[in-house]
Chain A
Amino acid sequence: MRNVFRSRVVGAALVSLALVAGACSSGDDATDGPTITVGSTNFGEQLILGEIYASVLEANGYSVERKFNLGTREVVNPALKSGEIDLLAEYTGTLLTFEGGTPSTDSDQTWSDLQNAIGDDGLVALAYSPAQDKNGFVVTAATAQELGLAAVSDLAQYNGQLVLGGPPECPDREFCLIGLQEVYGLDFAGFTPLDTGGPLTVAALEGGEIDVALLFTSDGVIAAKGFVLLEDDRNLQPAENIVPVTTEEIMDAYGEDLRDLLDEVSAAITTAELSELNKRYGLDAEDPEDLAREWLVSKGFIEE
């Protein structure tokens, strides 16, 4: 009897501890209103952007919860629509496609189309940032030289011979394998699922297991490793400006002050700066929290 009783007591104690810990983490409510849950998908840049927005909100007195590293867009988008998360840094072109629209390389047009597309789901696209992050198809410098590659369309001469590597969802993506096949008429010898522009993909490219890799244009690793980013000469990739997406509930609760704050932050992010932050996260193992904080301080959003 004793061991049953004891383990029940221990179990109950642990559960209460968890509940208390959960309650305590909501922190001070300097600004009255619902907690803003900031989410992110599962790659470095998302963690950094998520941290930037979350930190600046906290610094301005909002009550913030973080749910990072959740997975791909298929996972995170429903979470946004269902209210499990309230704010997410997205990319105009890809999100518009995901919502059934047709983006273009025009940032403004893509953004306003996006606003319309997501309005029905109770979502709001705030102002977009000048920083963009597009899918980039990358080869090693050696390969580029050997095969004479400068643009994506150059790959067509080697149809059936090259192996593409990228995130597992690439074959399902219009701006990945599907687009390469339809817009560029490319035919790869195979596709190797790896990770989302991360070290597996980089290692596979360097090691020669794949010939062409999907990386992201704002990823500092491309420059750091001396890879060659093939030019998107047929404009497969649309405008992919970073845009924070939030819910109507949050906008109703907080209104223009919130919008102004986030718009100011978004306007200050540039592709070059983002690339640098990405590199420091991915290659130098710095923490997203530190990187976000440092950037916010340098731009004057936070004091330190």
Chain B
Amino acid sequence: MIEFFGDLARWFADNWDGTAGYLNRTWEHVQVSGLAVVVASAIGVPLGAWLGHTGKGGLAVVSVVNIGRALPSFGIVALALPITIRIADRVPFIDSGLGFLPTFIALLALALPPIFTNTFAGVRNVSRDTVEAARGMGVTERRILVDVELPIASPVVLAGIRTSAVQVVATATLGALVGYGGLGRYIIDGFAVQDDLQIVAGALLVAVLSVATELGFGALQRRIVPPPLRRGTSLRRRALRRLQPSARTPA
């Protein structure tokens, strides 16, 4: 056991550099995960916010929640491959249908549901009184959404993005199955040659990255959420907690 930890420490000392080193692999991992979360947020937040504000599309949201959680990550990543290969064939400026593209598309599909549903729920649950008061004061619909509802909903929205990010980081390991690099490489390659050390090292790196993502968003939350909402009454805290962000799925 002790010997194993010694070997592990040595592995970390030896394998940091080069294309196959963990600094590069971590960067690859962060790249595809980060882009997926950013794009998913760019789509999910406006969409969820608008639907939440207008109050329409409740059924769509429920379906998205159910189906979103039911998507098997392995299936989605595998499915992305023939799709992106076909896209790469037909679209001239896309070089490769392997590696980054299918991983990104799959992660995007998996990142969207939590962000979308959380934003919808967060905006939807802003007290009607507050919204009415704003309307009474003559504030336009758009301004209500942007200046009133979104800030109030921000803890929930951010919780959704956070859940999504952590999930994406864990799932990005499967990118190794479609020709991408990332930390999943250590797990797949390690399994191929039965190198337990590599598997454990890879898993450890992903776990660390997951935790870092979780903590990073925690810090972000403290920055972005408006001060009056941070402290809040115990009632509000309980209410917000009840809007339990969809439990993240393991990778």
Our pick among B185, B188, B193 for the contact of A172 (Cβ within 8 Å) is B193
Contacts A209-B96, A209-B98, A209-B99 hold; do A204 and B189 have CB atoms under 8 A apart?
no
Q: Is the CB of A72 within 8 A of B193?
A: yes
Which chain B residues (172-226) contact chain A, with CB distance < 8 Å?
176, 178-179, 185, 188-189, 191-194
- Which of B178, B188, B189, B192 has the most chain A CB within a 10 Å cutoff? B192
Q: Is the CB of B96 within 8 A of A200?
A: no
Residue of A nearest to B189 (CB): A168
CA distance A279 to B237 in the complex (A): 62
Contacts A72-B193, A168-B193 hold; do A207 and B188 have CB atoms under 8 A apart?
no
Our pick among A167, A193, A203 for the contact of B185 (Cβ within 8 Å) is A193
Contacts A207-B97, A209-B96, A209-B98 hold; do A75 and B194 have CB atoms under 8 A apart?
yes
B-facing mask of A187-210, CB < 8 A → 1, else 0?
Answer: 000101110000010011001110
Smallest CB–CB gap between B181 and chain A, Å? 9
Is B7 part of the binding interface, using a Cβ–Cβ cutoff of 8 Å? no
Q: Is the interface of A mostly helix, strand, loop or mixed?
A: mixed
Q: Is the CB of B192 within 8 A of A74?
A: yes
Is B95 part of the binding interface, using a Cβ–Cβ cutoff of 8 Å? yes
Our pick among A74, A75, A168, A190 for the contact of B188 (Cβ within 8 Å) is A168
Smallest CB–CB gap between B105 and chain A, Å? 16
Is B88 part of the binding interface, using a Cβ–Cβ cutoff of 8 Å? yes
| Residues of chain A contacted by B98 (CB below 8 angstroms) | 200, 203-204, 207, 209
Q: Is the CB of B192 within 8 A of A168?
A: yes
| Residues of chain A contacted by B193 (CB below 8 angstroms) | 72, 74, 168-169, 172
Contacts A190-B19, A192-B179, A194-B179 hold; do A208 and B95 have CB atoms under 8 A apart?
yes
Smallest CB–CB gap between A80 and chain B, Å? 14
| Residues of chain A contacted by B131 (CB below 8 angstroms) | none
| Residues of chain A contacted by B95 (CB below 8 angstroms) | 207-209
Smallest CB–CB gap between B179 and chain A, Å? 5
Is A71 part of the binding interface, using a Cβ–Cβ cutoff of 8 Å? yes
Smallest CB–CB gap between B53 and chain A, Å? 39
| Residues of chain A contacted by B176 (CB below 8 angstroms) | 193
| Residues of chain A contacted by B96 (CB below 8 angstroms) | 204, 207, 209
| Residues of chain A contacted by B189 (CB below 8 angstroms) | 168-169, 193
A: which residues have CB within 8 A of B? 71-72, 74-75, 78, 167-169, 172, 190, 192-194, 200, 203-204, 207-209
**CB pairs A–B below 8 angstroms (29 shown):** A72-B192, A72-B193, A74-B192, A74-B193, A74-B194, A75-B191, A167-B192, A168-B193, A169-B189, A169-B192, A172-B193, A190-B19, A192-B179, A193-B176, A193-B185, A193-B188, A193-B189, A194-B179, A200-B98, A200-B178, A200-B179, A203-B98, A203-B179, A204-B179, A207-B88, A207-B96, A208-B95, A209-B95, A209-B99
Apart from A168-B185, A169-B189, A209-B179: 12 A-B pairs, beta carbons within 8 A:
A71-B192, A72-B193, A72-B194, A74-B192, A78-B194, A168-B189, A190-B19, A193-B188, A200-B98, A203-B97, A204-B98, A207-B96
